[in-house]
Amino acid sequence: MGRAASAEIDLNAIRHNYRLAKSLAPGSRAVAVIKADAYGHGAVAVAQALHTEADAFAVACIEEALELREAGVSKPILLLEGFFETGELDTIARQQFWCTIHSPHQIVALKTAKLTRPINVWLKLDSGMHRVGIRPDDYRTAFGTLRALPQVDQIVLMTHLACADDLQSPHTDTQIACFDTASAGLDAPVSLANSPATLAWPQAHRDWLRPGMMLYGASPFSHSQPNAMRLQPAMTLRSRIIAIRDLQPGDHIGYGAAFTCTRPSRIGTVAMGYGDGYPRHAKSGTPVMVNGRRTRLVGRVSMDMLSIDLTDLPEAQVGDNVEFWGRNLPINEIADHCGTIPYTLVTGISRRVPRRYDDTIVPATSDAFDAGQRSAQQPIPLA
């Protein structure tokens, strides 16, 4: 069996979370955001799991989009940053990728491009995040220009919200007002909502949602939020105990001797480290689960191993299962302990960690899936 580190991916949880997004905004369609290898969950597997029901997919770049096409994903795929070089336009047209246009230089390039067929464009407004997007004063003109181009088929109007994860922030309403003013009277569908806006800002729902993190079952909020509590975690990161030792008060553990035992301690070593993507900056005290019981990380995380306190778990043995986040240990809690967000944890899981897909409950084939009379919101019994 070899090294036991693995990330178990629950594809039914991802389907549940996608359906939750859609149910919160009945009437809206939803682009499932599967950039960065579906936030570390495996873009091809996630696209296949959602293929019968997702309205479209979104990725960051053409390489990610082509990987999906090569795997047989035929649904529309939105490129969230559009093209980086003019040479990509030919592939975009051939593959019928949907293309974000966020800057004047892209419009110039599109004007002179010779395309085999017109492309669908998502015209992005900079409503206040100031990363990419057309300036509000220029938005209407940009729309008119694109509408008149033979290279352009349909247009969706979009912007991205900087602070939707903060329910107290006035920025979201300011950005939405900016968008509504800049786009007033333009006849095209609208897309504003990322995960936090899908969960908590109904005024941002409009025609197309763009949920990412919520599909994978982590909350985009740092506080509790009722809709976020309905998400199901998709990734469970696990490994096993590979050694156990008894240590005395004053003994140190790991690199830098950063942890010193203050009591007679039973310490387990686990095959998991920052080479797997478990964060090196996780502090002593970060929770882990052993055989369904909580204990804590002690000492520094090394590349391939880390240490955990088994003093209060005398029954724990070499070979026992350790969960780092997932079904039984919310990833948001781990992110808090590490001073980061769940996004960095899941995208950071390295290639060394095999993804094991749990799709045994609902068959992966579309026919079998459609034929099931299963409710989206109810957990499906394992029997």
Ligand X SMILES: *Cc1c(COP(=O)(O)O)cnc(C)c1O
Kindly list the residues in this chain that would bind ligand X in the complex (CB under 6 A).
33, 35, 80, 160, 194-195, 210-214, 220
Cβ–Cβ < 8 Å for 238, 251: no
Provide the β-strand partners of residue 239: 322
Those residues whose C-beta lies under 8 Å from the C-beta of residue 3, and which sit 6 or more positions away, are: 239, 271
Closest residue by beta carbon to ligand X: 212
Tokens encoding 229: 């509590």
Question: 114 an active-site residue?
Answer: no
The whole-angstrom separation of Cα 204 and Cα 206 is: 6
Q: How far is the CB of 37 from ligand X (least distance, A)?
A: 13
**Strands, E, within 80-214: which ranges?**
98-101, 119-125, 152-159, 190-191, 208-209
The whole-angstrom separation of Cα 175 and Cα 203 is: 12
Comparing CB distances to ligand X, the nearer of 42 and 212 is 212
Alpha helices in 194-351 (DSSP H): 195-200, 331-337, 342-347
Q: How far is the CB of 322 from ligand X (least distance, A)?
A: 27
Active-site residue, from 39, 114, 216, 255: 255
- Characterize the bridge pairing of strands 208-209 and 190-191: unpaired
Q: By three-state DSSP, how is residue 380 classified?
A: coil
Cβ–Cβ < 8 Å for 217, 189: no
Comparing CB distances to ligand X, the nearer of 221 and 274 is 221
**The one-letter amino acid at 119:** I
Active-site residue, from 22, 35, 39, 278: 35
Cβ–Cβ < 8 Å for 136, 143: no
Comparing CB distances to ligand X, the nearer of 194 and 239 is 194
Comparing CB distances to ligand X, the nearer of 16 and 300 is 16
Comparing CB distances to ligand X, the nearer of 14 and 288 is 14
Tokens encoding 314: 């005398």
CB atoms within 10 A of CB 187: 9
The whole-angstrom separation of Cα 61 and Cα 40 is: 16
Comparing CB distances to ligand X, the nearer of 125 and 308 is 125
Question: 255 an active-site residue?
Answer: yes
Those residues whose C-beta lies under 8 Å from the C-beta of residue 339, and which sit 6 or more positions away, are: 281
CB atoms within 10 A of CB 232: 16
CA 103 to chain centre: 25
Query: What secondary structure letter does DSSP report for 217?
Result: T
Comparing CB distances to ligand X, the nearer of 162 and 261 is 162
What residues act catalytically? Answer: 35, 255
